Structure 1
Amino acid sequence: MHPIRHWTRLRDAALAMGLLSCLIAAGNGSSDELPASARRVIAPGHIARPPYQFTPPDTRILQVVQQASFDYFWNESSPHTGMTRDRVGTTVCSVAGVGFQLASLPIGIERGWITYAQGRARAIKVLTSLVGNPGNRKHGIYYHYLDEVSGTPRSISSGPPVVSTVDTALLFSGAIVAASYFGNEVDLLVDIMLGRADWKKFVDKKPVLEYAQGMISLGWVPNDPDDPTGTGELLPYYWIDAADEQRLVTFMAMATGRQNTRIPPSTWYRLRRQIGSHDDGNTVTYFPYGGGLFTNLIEHVWFDHSRIDLDDPMAFGIPHRARVDWWANALWHARMHQDESASNADSYASFEVGWGLSACDGPDGYVVPGLFPDPLPMPGAQPGIDVPLETPSDDFGNGTIASYAAVSSIMFEPVAAMDALKRYIALLDQRGDRLVWKSPSGGGYGLVDSFNLDPGTGQPWSSGSHVAIDQGMILLSIENARSGLVWNLFHEHESIRGGMKDLRLQLLPCPSLPEDVNDDCAVDGLDILEVVAAFGACPGCDEDVNGDGQVDLLDLEAVRLLAPALGGPDLR
């Protein structure tokens, strides 16, 4: 039977029999009673996914903003090691910033700001300085900060230098992008870098906390700072929750290095997924120890989650973990930040023009403000192992906004991000000068780190500083929203393909939509038939399009609304 006629007859017959009310009644249990593994974090298919089409005026703005950020990486790099400085005016380089630097090179070439030869030469210089210096790492994992001249470990505090697993993961991510783009010598240097990583050395065999067993430590410190490759100890803090940094570190730890130095893929699914909901009613998973927007941004500049299907922790035997479309999860967090800024604009002047609380400079020093959804019950979940022991509360950071947060959300919210970007550029200080935008013609690099329109001093404040990782977030996020270039290069690399396969994650050739039940890049009658065949209680399954634990006429209607002709619109 033709799918359209099949659907029409089924719908008419069901409505005539009152089946809709019966099906809904069959699922009359409260959604709060659903175990976490039966929940799905999803977004309906009518919400557009990247890449996006921007108007000519907006495209010109994005081009200027991107070039300003690229110029930071090109101009603020050491003539000795080639590595980009952590921020303007310093002599140290963050290896995370260097990761963004390496990923910036293909963008600069494709946009016509440098030549291929220039980009390749810079990549080789940076990678040679990193790979050729045995004192800048421990077990193949790099120190957070390196001296721009010697490339040796540095500390920016009174404590010893620290080998950082997350900053190394960001370095590796950018190196992978460069390897895919340049190939040959760059690819060889990156292979050497990745192959040296012994991630198992960063798993504490006897952690104080039982639920940290098998998880990656945040880092390692030497007993003697003058002997950076000597003896030392792991930091007693671990990546245990499924926020962006945690997922990126854990993925790199199971996908890079040699086979015998990697951690099991199941560790990625063991990361805790506390679920919650905001005023819009959408289910999300969130990081209980930090509500800054960067916890839903920094992994997304590498992984194209708009095309990655729902993950499945239960396939690895890991209970009490929701199935998540991570692009949708980031979208709902971005909208929560928008909603909360609008609701609190009377209390914080900055919220009248912008949104996006995240880690940044503040008027009185470094701040990490953040927002959290309301936690949802997770029946049967074990405290510590499955859910955190603490309940977080919102921190508005005295109204300080991280400029990069809303702008980087262009990967999910192009209209709201563009609106925020234009507002930031237009902001003026008390002298009538640009507050947040520092023009490249005057030696600036575009958006500064952060601003606060009412810090209690009677005049607006901005950080006045450009930071490598922030510039990288802005540059890469905009490029992905426009072309998907960084995503495509990242996913080309064999280590990423292998890691995705080990996690049973599929990169689709089209946007990942819940209505495309069979993942064939078309919403059509075949999806209708799949839903019909699964009618009944089916928590967590693909046919439960709206994620309410029941496959019923509501799911059929969701598919029908996206494809009213059921002619199979091509999503590619």
Structure 2
Amino acid sequence: MIRFSLLLLSFAFLSCGSKETDKKEKEENKISVEKLSDEQLLDVVQKQTFKYFWDYAEPNSGLARERYHPDGNYPENDAHIVTTGGSGFGLMAIVSGMSRGYISKEDGVKRLDKIADFLAKADRFHGAWSHWIDGNTGKVKPFGTKDNGGDLVETSFLVSGMITVREYLKDGSTSEKAVAQKFDALWKGVDWQWFTNGKNVLYWHWSPNYAWQMNFPLEGYNECLITYIMAASSPNHSIDAKAYHEGWARGGAIVSSNTKYNLPLILKHNGAAEFGGPLFWAHYSYVGLDPNQLTDKYANYWDLNVNQVKIDYQYCVENPNKFKGYGADFWGLTASYSRNPDGSDGYDAHMPSNDKGVISPTAGVSSIVYTPKESIALMRNLYENHKELTWGAAGFYDAVSLEHNWSAKKYLAIDQGPEVVMIENYRSGLLWKLFMNAPEVKQGLQKLGFKSGKYEIQ
């Protein structure tokens, strides 16, 4: 049985032989179950989802499993495969868990120390980690045939978590400072400059066997903004600002004049020009990077993200495909598990231009910083009205469809992580404050031409 913080009122129902009048009287006089307040609901969701990174972490490394299947039925025996990017979100989740008292600070520091030691011994490629790592050995688990080396984007998600941990522990006890120093050394070892391959752009992959054959330049706009910011923030291997402006921003061509539902898209969303991309684009770069009052010559990043989320929300309310359940309290399209036509589980990048009747709870939950009213309405609906279908050992399941009375009763680190972190940022702003106040981050943002109305960028 799953334990919930909501105290349910129990009722003694009569046996089959009871009088119909007594049963009717009980129905009429039944006391309503006490509702959770918004703050209680947020805490229930945050605490339960945090278990993904604590109770269900890969045991040898302490890192986040790529996926967690409560039924133990893993494909290709990948229960010990950890995800680099999801583990970055997990580092922030552990900081959140310590600050909330979900775990003791002592236990949190021990886990973080274990993680740092594992990552120090794991395979690295010019300082970057691979997309997947074998949690037992620290060796690369290829994400694809040619994707068996450094993954710069996943590494940037991991590094943003490392910097957050360092900032949280750097002024603590002797043991806390020691762990902070380990993470400081790890992130500073990434050779971001190498991943330009001598050009004014960053490349996603490098392989010891296939070199640059994947040939995937990071050009905006998608989830990779944080990669450029981390690369510009490096004390020892920083990229030139030209890589950002000529590569990521495409010499200014990143700017869009498109609107949807009278909301400007602001930037060109790669492959999703009409509605914007899957909602994780508004989450992954911004778990540490605070978009509030953050601007550069191309965008106001708060408006960019709020508009993308509201477009997704409006689309689900409009529900042009008439999928069951879609509306103001059932919305949110992003990459997640999906339902194949034959009823089996798959994976898809859900978005308005690729709508399969499947919502991903992480889409709306992780958007709480942008659309608190709408996100809480979604959480309340899922938790109070569809709990059996949507709620499990590590929070809301990864994907759900009322159209098909189906849910993927399993989890992905890259989806659970932003839920914990963004709920924390909505409640306290803790992870944003830690990351944004790191001196290297401020320097990197300044180098790329960013300005913030909340933090001094010098």
TM-score w.r.t. length of structure 2: 0.81
Structure 1 position 144 matched with structure 2 position 131:
yes
Instruction: Pick one of 99, 102, 116 that aligns with 2:105.
Output: 116
SS in 1 for 2:415: helix
Structure 1 position 311 matched with structure 2 position 300:
no
Structure 1 position 60 matched with structure 2 position 40:
yes
SS in 2 for 1:339: helix
Q: Distance in 2 between matches of 1:357 and 1:293?
A: 6
Instruction: After superposing the two structures, state which structure 1 stretch, 290-299 or 400-409, moved more.
Output: 290-299
CA contact (8 A) 2:91 2:165 kept: yes
> Could you report, residue by residue, the CA deviation over 1:492-528 in whole angstroms, capped at 9, with x for unpaired residues?
2222121122234333348x9xxxxxxxxxxxxxxxx
Q: Distance in 2 between matches of 1:403 and 1:56?
A: 19
Q: Partner residue of 1:5?
A: none
Q: CA deviation at 1:164?
A: 1.1
AA matched with 1:302 = G
Instruction: Pick one of 94, 98, 101 that aligns with 1:105.
Output: 94
SS in 1 for 2:383: helix
CA contact (8 A) 1:147 1:153 kept: yes
Higher RCO structure, 1 or 2 (CA under 8 Å, sep 6+)? 1
Listed as ranges, the matches of 1:439-450 within 5 Å are 444-450=393-399
Q: CA deviation at 1:266?
A: 3.4
SS in 2 for 1:146: strand
Q: CA deviation at 1:350?
A: 4.2
Q: CA deviation at 1:71?
A: 1.3
Aligned-pair RMSD on alpha carbons? 2.3
Q: CA deviation at 1:427?
A: 4.4
AA matched with 1:250 = Y
Listed as ranges, the matches of 1:402-551 within 5 Å are 402-428=360-386, 434-438=388-392, 444-454=393-403, 459-509=404-454
SS in 1 for 2:102: coil
Q: Partner residue of 1:344?
A: 319
Structure 1 position 282 matched with structure 2 position 236:
no
Instruction: After superposing the two structures, state which structure 1 stretch, 488-497 or 273-282, moved more.
Output: 273-282
Q: CA deviation at 1:452?
A: 1.5
> Could you report, residue by residue, the CA deviation over 1:467-502 in whole angstroms, capped at 9, with x for unpaired residues?
112111100011101110000111122221211222
SS in 1 for 2:285: coil
Q: CA deviation at 1:104?
A: 1.3
AA matched with 1:256 = S
Q: Distance in 2 between matches of 1:58 and 1:286?
A: 35
CA contact (8 A) 1:219 1:235 kept: yes
Structure 1 position 94 matched with structure 2 position 94:
no
Q: Distance in 2 between matches of 1:67 and 1:500?
A: 32
Q: Distance in 2 between matches of 1:448 and 1:269?
A: 39
In structure 2, the CA distance between the partners of 1:497 and 1:281, relative to structure 1 (3 Å rule), is closer
AA matched with 1:252 = M
How many percent identity over aligned positions? 25
- Gapped regions of structure 1 (runs ≥ 5): 1-54, 206-212, 224-230, 313-322, 372-393, 439-443, 513-572
Instruction: Pick one of 181, 184, 197 that aligns with 2:190.
Output: 197
SS in 1 for 2:375: helix
Structure 1 position 298 matched with structure 2 position 277:
no
Instruction: Pick one of 195, 204, 222 that aligns with 1:218.
Output: 204
SS in 2 for 1:222: coil
Q: Distance in 2 between matches of 1:109 and 1:145?
A: 26
Report the count of equivalent residues.
Answer: 392
CA contact (8 A) 1:302 1:490 kept: yes
> Could you report, residue by residue, the CA deviation over 1:138-163 in whole angstroms, capped at 9, with x for unpaired residues?
00011111111111111355665342
Q: CA deviation at 1:285?
A: 1.6
TM-score w.r.t. length of structure 1: 0.65
Q: Distance in 2 between matches of 1:424 and 1:159?
A: 40
Instruction: Pick one of 326, 348, 360 that aligns with 1:367.
Output: 348
Instruction: Pick one of 16, 36, 58 that aligns with 1:78.
Output: 58
Listed as ranges, the matches of 1:547-562 within 5 Å are none
SS in 1 for 2:212: strand
Q: Partner residue of 1:256?
A: 234
Q: Partner residue of 2:118?
A: 129
Q: CA deviation at 1:191?
A: 2.2
Q: Distance in 1 between matches of 2:91 and 2:268?
A: 29
> Could you report, residue by residue, the CA deviation over 1:97-143 in whole angstroms, capped at 9, with x for unpaired residues?
1111111122111111111111111111101110133xx11000111
